[in-house]
Structures are given as structure tokens and as C-alpha cells.
Amino acid sequence: MRDSKTTQNATGLSWGESIATLAHPRVIAMLFLGLSAGLPILLIFSSLGLWLREAGLSRSSVTMFSWAALGYSFKFVWAPLIDRLPVPLLTARMGRRRAWILVSQASIILAICWMAVTDPASGGSSLTMMAMAAVLLGFSSATQDIVIDAYRIESADQDLQAMLSATYIAGYRIGMLIAGAGAIYLAEKFGSSAETYDYDAWRQSYLWMAAAMLIGVAATLVIPEPDHEKSDKHEHDTGHYLRFLMLFAFSVAAFILVFMVSGDSVKDARIALTEALGNRALAGFLVELVRLAIGIAVAGAVAFACVRGGLANREMVVDAYVDPVRDFFQRYGTSLALLLLALIGLYRISDIVLGVISNVFYQDIGFTKTEIAATVKTFGLFMTIAGGFIGGILAVRYGVIRVLFAGALLTVITNLLFILLNEVGRDMTLLYLVISADNLTAGIASAAFVAFLSSLTNVSFTAVQYAIFSSLMTLFPKIIGGYSGTIVDSLGYSQFFLIAALLGVPVLFLIVIAARRLKVKEAG
């Protein structure tokens, strides 16, 4: 079993040996898989926001589209399916991990093409179609993340994991550059701007993004399947797999049904609560939070009823969903486990909430898409990659927890710089300064956080536990981020940036407390 300590200070490799691992074939492969994983997300968060804004949608409508990426926050729900279900025909030929990566990549390409052929400004059901395509893209991309994370951890020994993670993050950022700077640049080059909206320009841009995904497809076709293959006592029983899949389908259908039938009630509740609280943004957030909780509860009840009724094999469900959670709580104890989960869920809140509306902010204060692409995306990419390597080196030298704290503190400080940028307005020098600080900090924090999450994962439950951790780290921030446009409309950018920075302050205290508890546990 992999060592689960979170404060290790060295890898045991010399500088020469560490550098030599860069030439390892699987390390190189992770660069291209990282690119494939990083490309889709900004087509929902960033580039789509500018597209919808140019098409005439309000800020609040634009930022609500970020909820299409909530699949990243719930991917732990179907991670056990991906971990166990074979892909007909493909699994026998390619292996379980590679087959699922290929299927998810094909679905991503389909979703991007669907978005490309949909004009959100054409009226009718076009906006609904765009939302459905964005949801499919979020679901498919989250599925790809599940499998690539499992592939990364299973494809090499522990001494190579740090370099696999480093190249994966670098590739991920390159993919984000392609989807962020690339999509924006192409849209402007083909003729769309804030003043003159051109649907055909955005259509061509997104079709090029779909073509870029073929890089990841090529990598999937040439990489080897991991030597580690998880045994499954039900692997020859197709009936168990089908019933397991039906259990998931019924639960998802129940969750969706709650949202479909509660539409009118939600509107009435939002109006009533807005009158009671005097705050439309807060009222909307609370109502949607309750709606989400009810949807999850109903889906859980349906799953429970299906198991009790014999639809799905109880042992298989327990092994898939209960054992990974039980293992985590047994290893750390209830109180420390809850503290760690709170830290995971809140660590990136300040960064993600601000990031949802950042591109709209840059455009609102006067920067062109070309300037945003060159400065925020291209220059910012190199700063983030540099920050990632710096964070990795510091984590090896001083320990993960210390760098985790430094990353959280720097995030709070750098978010305050956006207030200055808002007050000054369109200033390229200041923009470079803010982007340098923000992206360097993001790289340092991300490197430490990935190392922290990996150290908490038990290799016996790799896919599910890592999916739970990575889902939890984005769930609450993305829910809040969906209201960022509404908050800006109500309070203005400066107050919003102050709120985003203050959201990161409790994280500092959680890290300090967690560090002390982990130190005591490891000493014991």
C-alpha cells in the first residue's frame, strides 16, 4: 500500500535522477493526456462566457452557465461505474482504462461540435440546446478526468508519481491555453467582437477546438494499458453490471426529475425569500442550495430502494461506494477526516469564485480579446507552469503542508490586487503584474494541493477516493461562482473581489489545525 503520510520531505531521488525521469515514456504520455483533460473545461467556463456575452446575454446568465461544469463536482457518483463497467468491444482490445479514456474523448468531441452548431443568439430553444451541450461536455470531461487520474496513479510506481503529476499539470495548462487563448483568438480573427457579434466566427473556433482533442485521442491509442488491473469478483457476470448501471440511471433520473418539477416552486420561493432578506443573490443561492440537497436526497432514496428491492447487488454497491469512504474514515478517524474534507472542499474557493467571471471583468474594463489571449492566457500559462514547478520543489524541500499554507495565503493576497486593477482600469503593465502574481500563486497552490490529495488516497481505492476529493474541492466554489455575475451586478467588482479574497481566510485556519492533527497522528 502506498505511504499515506502528508508531510514527507524528500523523494529519495538525486537531482540527476529526477531530471532523467522527464524522458520516461509514461511521463511524456501524461503531457498529452493532460492536454486532453485541460482543453474542455475553459470551453465551459471562460471562452463560452465571452461567446454568450457577445451574443447579448446578461452577466448573471453567463456565469450561471458555469454550473454546466458541476459534473466535475459530482464525478465521484459515477466513478465506481467507470472503475468497474467494461466498454463493449473496446475493453477487450484496449484494456479498461484506455477504453474509457477513448469513449470520454469521443463524447467530448461530440459535445464541442454540438455547441459549435448552436447559435445562442438565435432565440427559441437555442439557449437550451447550448446548455444541454455544455452539460454533456462537463459530464464527458469529468469522466475523462476520472480515468486519467486512475491511469496516472496505476501506470507507474510511487517514485515516478511526482513527475507524472508535474507533466500532467503542464499538459493540462497547455490544453487550457488552447481552449482559452486559442478559442478567443480564433473567434476574434474570424470576425467576432464585443461590438459586432458573429456566430460563424465562434462556430469555426469551437470546431477547431474539437479538432485539437484529436491530440489526446492519438495519445490514448499509443499508450500502454497499466500493469495494475483491479480484480473484480463480478467481472464475468454481465447481469450484475447491467443492474449496477440501472441503479445509477434511476438515481440520476430521480435527481433530474426533482429539478424539472420544482421550477415554479423555486421561482416563488426565490421571490418570497428575496423580499424577506432584501438580497436577491443570497436568496437565489439559498433556494438553489436547498433544491440541490433535495435532489441528492431523493436520488439517494431511490438508490437505497433499488438495492433493498434487489435491483442491484448489495455487495457490489457497498464495495463501490461504501468501502472507499469507510477506509478514509478508518485511517484518519472521524473528526480528523471531517476536518480534511472541509479543507479539501474550501481550499480553492477564493480562486474558483473569482475565476468564473475574470474574463468578463477584463473585457468590461476595456481589454480586447487579443490582449486577454496574449496576457491572461498565454503569458499567464507560463507563469502557472513556473509556479507549479516551484511549488513542487518547495513541497519536496519544506513539506506539502507548509507550501499548502503559503499557496492559500498568497491566493488571498493576490485576489486583492484585482481591486487595484478595477480602480485603475485598462493598464497593460498593471495587468501583467496582476496576472504574474495570480498565476504564479495558482501554480504553487495547485502543485501542493495535488500532492496533498494524492497523499490522502489509498491505492486500493484510487479512482473513487481521488474522484471524491477532486469533486469536493470544486463543488461549493462552483455553486458560489454561478452567482458571481449577480453579486457583481449588485455590489460592483471591487466589493466582489474583496469577498472572494475573504473567502480564503478560513482556509488558513483549517490548514494550521489539520497540520497539527496530522503531526500528532503520524507521531503516534
Query: Which band of pLDDT confidence, cut at 50, 70 and 90, is reported for residue 60?
Result: low
Q: What span, in angstroms and rounded, lies between the C-alpha atoms of 55 and 260?
A: 26
Helices (H), 39-95: 42-45, 47-54, 59-64, 75-84, 90-94
Q: What span, in angstroms and rounded, lies between the C-alpha atoms of 500 and 348?
A: 11
| Average pLDDT for 167-189 | 85
61 has a pLDDT exceeding 80:
no
| Average pLDDT for 78-82 | 80
Q: What span, in angstroms and rounded, lies between the C-alpha atoms of 38 and 378?
A: 14
Instruction: Specify the pLDDT at position 69.
Output: 63
236 has a pLDDT exceeding 80:
no
Residue 5's CB is within 10 A of a number of other CB atoms, namely 11
| Residue, of 505 and 281, whose pLDDT is higher | 505
Of 292, 271, 293, nearest to 283 (Cα)? Answer: 271
| Residue, of 116 and 267, whose pLDDT is higher | 116
C-alpha R_g of the chain: 22
233 has a pLDDT exceeding 90:
no
Q: What span, in angstroms and rounded, lies between the C-alpha atoms of 84 and 97?
A: 10
476 has a pLDDT exceeding 70:
yes
Of 112, 91, 460, nearest to 241 (Cα)? Answer: 91
Q: What span, in angstroms and rounded, lies between the C-alpha atoms of 108 and 78?
A: 17
Residue 209's CB is within 10 A of a number of other CB atoms, namely 26
Helices (H), 223-279: 238-261, 263-277
Q: What span, in angstroms and rounded, lies between the C-alpha atoms of 288 and 296?
A: 12
Instruction: Specify the pLDDT at position 6.
Output: 46
Across 27-31, 61-65, 192-196, least confident range: 61-65
- Tell me the average pLDDT of the chain: 81
CA dist 99 → 85, 107, 151, 225 (Å): 11, 13, 11, 9
**Percentage of residues of the chain with pLDDT beyond 70:** 84
Residue at grid coordinates 467571471: 357
Q: Is 423 exposed, middle or buried (0-12, 13-18, 19+ CB in 10 A)?
A: exposed
In the chain, how long is the greatest CA-to-CA distance? Answer: 65
DSSP 229: -
Q: What span, in angstroms and rounded, lies between the C-alpha atoms of 385 and 433?
A: 16
CATH assignment, 15-226+313-523: 1.20.1250.20
219 has a pLDDT exceeding 70:
yes
| Residue, of 281 and 464, whose pLDDT is higher | 464
| Residue 9 grid cell | 520531505
Instruction: Specify the pLDDT at position 67.
Output: 62
Query: Which band of pLDDT confidence, cut at 50, 70 and 90, is reported for residue 7?
Result: very low
Q: What span, in angstroms and rounded, lies between the C-alpha atoms of 301 and 86?
A: 27
For the stretch 393-409, pLDDT in tens is 777 677 778 888 999 99
The structural domains of the chain, with segments of one domain joined by +, span 15-226+313-523, 237-312
Instruction: Specify the pLDDT at position 265.
Output: 80
Q: What span, in angstroms and rounded, lies between the C-alpha atoms of 175 and 479?
A: 24
**Percentage of residues of the chain with pLDDT beyond 90:** 20
DSSP 60: H
Q: What span, in angstroms and rounded, lies between the C-alpha atoms of 439 and 446?
A: 10
Is the Cβ–Cβ distance between 504 and 350 less than 8 Å? Answer: yes
Q: Is 164 exposed, middle or buried (0-12, 13-18, 19+ CB in 10 A)?
A: buried
pTM greater than 0.85: no
275 has a pLDDT exceeding 50:
yes
Q: At what angle do helices 462-481 and 126-154 cross, to 10 degrees?
A: 140
Length of the chain (residues): 524
Question: 3-state class of 456 per DSSP?
Answer: helix
For the stretch 305-330, pLDDT in tens is 888 877 777 777 777 778 888 999 99
